[in-house]
Structure formats: C-alpha cells, structure tokens
Amino acid sequence: MAMMRCKQLEVEGDKLDRLTNLPINVQHRIQESLSIEEAARMSVLSRPWRHVWASIPKLVFSPHFCQSKPSDTLINVINTILLQHHGAIKTFHLNISSIPSSQHSVIDQWMFLLSRNGVMDLTLQNLDNKAPYRLSYPMYGVELERLSLSNCIFKPPCSFRGFHKLKKLSLLKVALEDVATSFLWMPNLVYLLVRGCSGFPNSKIYAPKLLQIFFLIWRTKPIELGHFMDCQKLKTVILASSRNNKDKVINLTYLLNCWPDVLHFNLDSYYLKSFATELERLPTCLNSLRALTLFEFDFDDDDQIFSLLGMLKSSPNLEDLLFLLSSKKNGGVEVNVNHFEGPACRTLGLNKLQQLKIDNFHGSRTEMLFVRSILSSAPLLLKTIINEDADSVHESQRLKISKELMGFPRASPKLEIICEQSEMDTDVLY
C-alpha cells in the first residue's frame, strides 16, 4: 500500500514537473484561461507558479469579481496584485463601477503604472457609477491597440496625436471633450463602436482599414456619416439614432456607393427614411449585401415601406432579412396594401434569401401581406420565424395568424415556418 502511494506521488510530481518545465508563454496562457481568483490560488499553492502569476501579461478582472467586493477591498486587491507584478502588462480589463469618484485618484495611479508597463489592450467599465471617470493623461501617450471605455470622460492633452496603432475602439456613454482632429487619424482601426456618447467630432475620419462601425447616438445633430465615405473596406454597418431625434433625415445613398463590400447592414427607421426620396440614387445592385436588419420598422409608414422595397430590389444576393418592429400605435392607420399586392412585390428578386425573421409581429394586414409576398417569391427560403408581440396579440388572434401563415403559397419546398409569442429583445440591437 505504501509503495502504491509513493508511486502515485511520483506520477503526480512528474506531471507537475512537466507543467513547470513548459515555456513561460505557455504557462501564462494556462493561467490566463483561469479566473483571477483561480490563478492567484494556484500561485499560493504552488511555489513554481508564483513567478508565473507575478509576470502574467494579461490581467482581466471580471465584473462579478469587481462588483462583489466593497470598494476599499477591491482597491487593496488591485494594489497588491500590481505591486507584486513584474514585467509587462499587455492587457488590463477592470470594472470600476464600485469605486466612488472620491477615490478615482487611485485609478489614475493604476493608469500611470500601466502606461509604463506597455499596456496595449485597456478596458474600463463604469456602467453603474453615476460619476464618470476622467481618463488620466498618461494613457494618451500609450500606443494602444484596443481601447474600451464606458461612462468616462475622454479629454486628451493638447499634445495628443492620436492612437495610431489602435485596431478596436469601443465607447459607451463617453463624453469626448476638446478632441482634436488627430484623434480621428486611425490608420489601423478595424472596429468602431460609438454608443450613447456626446461630443463625437464631426470631422473626417481617416480609417482605411475599418471593417465594422456601430453608431447609436443621442445628440441634437445627427452624426456626419459623410466623414466615413473613404472607409471602402466596410463589411458591417449598424446605424441607430435616438428615438427622440426629430432632425431632418440624412442621405445614405451615396455612402452605399462608397461602401461596395458591405455584407451586413443594420439600420433603424430614422436612417431608413433617407432612402424614400433618394431611391433613384441607390446603387443598381448591392451585390455584396448578405444580411439586412431593420429595427423600429413600422409597416404603417409609407416612406419606410417604399425604402424597404427599393433596398430589396437592389440586393440580389440577400440571404438573411430581419425585422424588429416598432410598438403598435393605437388607432393607427394602415398603409395602402397595394404595396405588397402589385407587380412591385413580385419583382423583388429574392432568389438567394434563406431566412426571414420578424420580431414584435402584430398581425396587421400589411404585415401579413408582406410575409405572403416573401414566401411566394423566395425559392431558397429555408426558415421563417415570426415572434408575435406578447402585449398586442391575444390567443384567439394568434391562432388565426398562425393558420393564415401556414396557408400562404410557398416558392420553397423546404420552407419551415415557426410562429411563437415572445417579447422583443432590444439587447440584440443596443
């Protein structure tokens, strides 16, 4: 029995030796796959891994880890980890929501330390804190490749010359103050998300490698999208405005001519309306477009329907079509049903369409006729998903809608129709 235990210890020791003899970069990857708690515990229980933990280049503190601790405890933990650390810190993700504004100076100290340790990927989440954190000046001198800020103030010094190595920029509820044109010179930027921000400058943006843009802007004036017309490699474009935005709609048609490689195009009713009077300038064929998402769409709005039909006719290779409908207006007047019964709908050319999904479906006559026109004109359609509005569609109406949908003529012999009742998930959009 004793011999068996010795042999077992010998085998386990051999396994441990194999791990500790791995190259340091592999050991770092092993610890990076663990949570902060697990990695720290591992370093305490195993002396050989203490050095690995103290030199790990990626420090990611989960929101749960940060918000489960009082601010003083969290500050002490972060201070201890950073003081014991040696070597570069390339990635640093931290949720600072629980740290009150009176203690933001300690975050400045961390940023100073990171700026001297070669940080390239910085995330500061401040979602639940009413007081925004002002990004400290040392970070503006760092050649960041990824930057994600929420509920922060971005006010660079006069000497700021932009993040020229930046590849991914995510700004959520960020106030941009005194931002110079140099900030918009981002030759390596691939991904840009701007959501609920203020002060985003209306200056031409130099980002020739940009592949994805996501704009959800609350502001008195709409973003000048013309400043992105040189971003000719765009693959994904998501545009949403404040629901209270009553400014004159802007023209997007010339931008689509400048974005020939767009694969995924998502926009709300505010931007969709811009096509209503400019369809003659719409590109003859949006050959690259594969997925189109329209949210806050209203089938009782003639301009939106007119723009929709124009876009569908110009998208011969469209594969996925998704609607998230607006709330049904009480006493609303439905549009002319001829939109979906005349020859215009029979020439949509949706020969590649494979999926149609409509969320917040109300079952109005125009909605039903639209679905019928799609089912009868899409020979490759595989799935149609109708999620009915739980607030406006009652059980008796639901059965009637389902029966009528199942009876529509179908161009695709493989079509599956799924009709369910569920609430719209706005997180899909915002």
Q: Is the pLDDT of residue 410 over 70?
A: yes
Residue 266 has φ and ψ, to the nearest 5°, of -120, 130
- How large is the angle between the packed helices 24-32 and 2-20, nearest 10 degrees? 100
pTM over 0.85: no
Architecture of domain 268-328+335-430: Alpha-Beta Horseshoe (3.80)
The pLDDT score that the predictor gives to residue 384 is 96
Q: How far is CA 318 from CA 32, 218, 275, 352, in A?
A: 40, 30, 18, 6
Q: Which residue has the tokens 């003529």?
A: 409
Question: Mean pLDDT throughout 378-387?
Answer: 95
Rounded to an integer, what distance in angstroms lies between the CA atom of residue 319 and that of residue 387?
Answer: 19
The pLDDT-based confidence of 6 (bands split at 50, 70, 90) is very low
Q: How many CA atoms lie within 13 A of 38 on its CB side?
A: 8
The pLDDT-based confidence of 11 (bands split at 50, 70, 90) is very low
Average pLDDT, rounded, for the chain:
80
Question: Mean pLDDT throughout 84-111?
Answer: 92
Share above pLDDT 90 across residues of the chain, in percent, rounded to a whole number: 38
Q: Is the pLDDT of residue 7 over 50?
A: no
The pLDDT score that the predictor gives to residue 138 is 94
Rounded to an integer, what distance in angstroms lies between the CA atom of residue 80 and that of residue 85?
Answer: 9
The pLDDT score that the predictor gives to residue 51 is 57
Rounded to an integer, what distance in angstroms lies between the CA atom of residue 346 and that of residue 317?
Answer: 16
Q: How far is CA 156 from CA 128, 134, 201, in A?
A: 24, 10, 13
Q: What sections of 130-268 are H helices per DSSP?
A: 253-258
Task: Express each pLDDT in 296-320 by its tens digit.
Answer: 999 888 888 888 888 888 899 999 9
The pLDDT score that the predictor gives to residue 144 is 96
The pLDDT score that the predictor gives to residue 196 is 85
- In eight-state DSSP terms, residue 277 is T
The string of DSSP letters for 86-152 reads: -S---EEEEE-TTS-GGGHHHHHHHHHHHHTTT--EEEEE-TT-SSPEE--GGGGGS--SEEEEESE
Domain residue extents for the chain: 268-328+335-430
Rounded to an integer, what distance in angstroms lies between the CA atom of residue 174 and that of residue 28?
Answer: 33
2: exposed, middle or buried (Cβ count in 10 Å: 0-12, 13-18, 19+): exposed
Task: Express each pLDDT in 228-279 by its tens digit.
Answer: 767 889 999 998 876 555 555 556 677 777 788 899 999 888 888 777 666 5
Q: Is the pLDDT of residue 214 over 60?
A: yes
Question: Mean pLDDT throughout 371-400?
Answer: 90
Q: Is the pLDDT of residue 429 over 50?
A: no
The pLDDT score that the predictor gives to residue 9 is 39
Q: Which residues neighbour 17 within 8 Å (Cβ) at sequence distance 6 or greater?
A: none
Q: Is the pLDDT of residue 376 over 80?
A: yes
Task: Express each pLDDT in 137-190 by its tens digit.
Answer: 999 999 999 999 999 999 988 888 888 999 999 999 999 888 777 777 889 999
Three-state DSSP class for residue 181: helix
CB atoms within 10 A of CB 299: 26
Most confident of 63-67, 386-390, 421-425: 386-390
The pLDDT-based confidence of 75 (bands split at 50, 70, 90) is very high
The pLDDT score that the predictor gives to residue 188 is 94
Rounded to an integer, what distance in angstroms lies between the CA atom of residue 273 and that of residue 262?
Answer: 19
The pLDDT score that the predictor gives to residue 370 is 92
Structure tokens at 343: 């020859």
Q: Considering Cα of 68, then 69, then 75, then 77, what sign does the dihedral take?
A: negative
The pLDDT score that the predictor gives to residue 329 is 58
Which of the two residues, 62 and 321, has the higher pLDDT score? 321
Rounded to an integer, what distance in angstroms lies between the CA atom of residue 370 and that of residue 304?
Answer: 13
Rounded to an integer, what distance in angstroms lies between the CA atom of residue 153 and that of residue 162?
Answer: 16
The string of DSSP letters for 319-352 reads: -EEEEEEPPPPTTPPP--GGGGTSHHHHT---TT
Q: How many CA atoms lie within 13 A of 229 on its CB side?
A: 12
Q: Which residues neighbour 238 within 8 Å (Cβ) at sequence distance 6 or greater?
A: 212, 213, 214, 215, 264, 266, 267, 293
The pLDDT score that the predictor gives to residue 291 is 97
